[in-house]
Structure 1
Amino acid sequence: MQIGIVSDTHDDLDAVHAAVDLFESEGVEAVIHCGDFVAPFSVAPFDADFAFHAVRGNNDGEWNVQSAVESFGTYHGEAAALSFGTDGDADGPVEIAVVHGTSDLVVDALVDCGSYDYVLHGHTHAHGVEERNGTVRVNPGGLPIPVAGADDVFRVATLETGEAGADAVTHHELP
């Protein structure tokens, strides 16, 4: 199963449309947004031909973001624990935790607890993937912002659940 991962789109409709176009061309079955849509209008383009999951980011101040997501997807509030696949799959279901990532302590605790195959987060606008003790931490990136360490281009990621570990994650640069 192919899963799209995106974060920190901050009302940039061109970036949102580019992400949706990539996810559709890659044939993803689900998309997970790690927070910071900012306003409800930038949620609507994710109403596409895939399941959609989202968590709240620190800049999602408009509570109507929740109802916008819930009109076609699943809004999980501050955090989500998702399971993709079934016990009948070769390696069983893939367990995924999702938070926005404003607390490194929380992200590290989710990675280190050993309950998840993947921990997805955003917030830093810097893409990355790190494997620790069987759990893979994934930050898809986000819009470029003038902060040290942030990406200089918009990035998203895809996760192939049939693969294992960090090799299952691909980052994509978008215009």
Structure 2
Amino acid sequence: MLIGIVSDTHDDLAAVEAAVSLFEREGVDAVVHCGDFVAPFSATPFDADFAFHAVRGNNDGEWAVESTVEEFGEYHGEAAALSFGDGDGASDAVDVAVTHGTSEVLVDALVDCGDYDYVLHGHTHAHGVEARGGTVRVNPGGLPIPVDGADDAFHVATLDTAASGVEAVTHHVLDE
């Protein structure tokens, strides 16, 4: 199973459309948005040919984001615990925690608790992947912003559940 991961799209429709196009070209089965759509209109392009999951980001000030996402996907509020794969003990089944990432303490606790194969988060606008214990922390990145440590280009990620560990994660740079 191939999972697309995106975060911090901040109403940039060109970036959202570039991400959706990449995910469709890659043939993802599901997409997880780690928050910060900002307004409902920037969620609607994710109504595509894949399952869609989203959590709230600190800049998602319009509560209509939830009802917009619920029209075509699943909105999980502040955090989600998801399972992807066959679910019958298949080797490609993975358990995933998703949060926006505003709290580093929460992200670290989700990684260190050992309950998840992957912890997905955004917020920093800096892509990264880190294995710690039996869990892999994945930040897909986000739009470039003028903050130290942020990416200078828009990044998203894919997670191939047929692989494992950090090798299962691929970061993609997108032109907006």
TM-score, normalised with respect to structure 2: 0.98
Residues 1:35 and 2:35 are matched in the alignment: yes
After superposition, the C-alpha distances for 1:26-66 in whole angstroms (9 at most, x for unaligned) are 00000000000000000010000000000000000000000
Where does residue 169 of structure 2 map in the other structure?
A: 169
Where does residue 71 of structure 2 map in the other structure?
A: 71
Where does residue 156 of structure 1 map in the other structure?
A: 156
Where does residue 13 of structure 2 map in the other structure?
A: 13
Residues 1:113 and 2:113 are matched in the alignment: yes
Residues 1:140 and 2:136 are matched in the alignment: no
Where does residue 3 of structure 1 map in the other structure?
A: 3
Code of the residue aligned with 1:44 in structure 2: it is T
Aligned counterparts of 1:149 and 1:59: Cα–Cα separation in 2: 19
Contact 2:157 2:169 in 1 (8 A): yes
Aligned counterparts of 1:49 and 1:87: Cα–Cα separation in 2: 21
RMSD of aligned Cα (Å): 0.9
Code of the residue aligned with 2:85 in structure 1: it is G
After superposition, the C-alpha distances for 1:130-172 in whole angstroms (9 at most, x for unaligned) are 0000100000000000000000000000000010100000000
Structure 1 residue 93: deviation in Å? 2.4
Code of the residue aligned with 1:28 in structure 2: it is V
Aligned counterparts of 1:93 and 1:171: Cα–Cα separation in 2: 21
Where does residue 96 of structure 1 map in the other structure?
A: 96
- Structure 1: runs of 5+ lacking an equivalent: none
Count of residue pairs brought into register by the alignment: 175
Q: Percent identity?
A: 77
Structure 1 residue 89: deviation in Å? 4.6
- Secondary structure (helix, strand or coil) at the match of 2:107 reads helix
- Structure 2: runs of 5+ lacking an equivalent: none
- Secondary structure (helix, strand or coil) at the match of 1:110 reads helix
After superposition, the C-alpha distances for 1:114-136 in whole angstroms (9 at most, x for unaligned) are 00000000000000000000100
Where does residue 48 of structure 1 map in the other structure?
A: 48
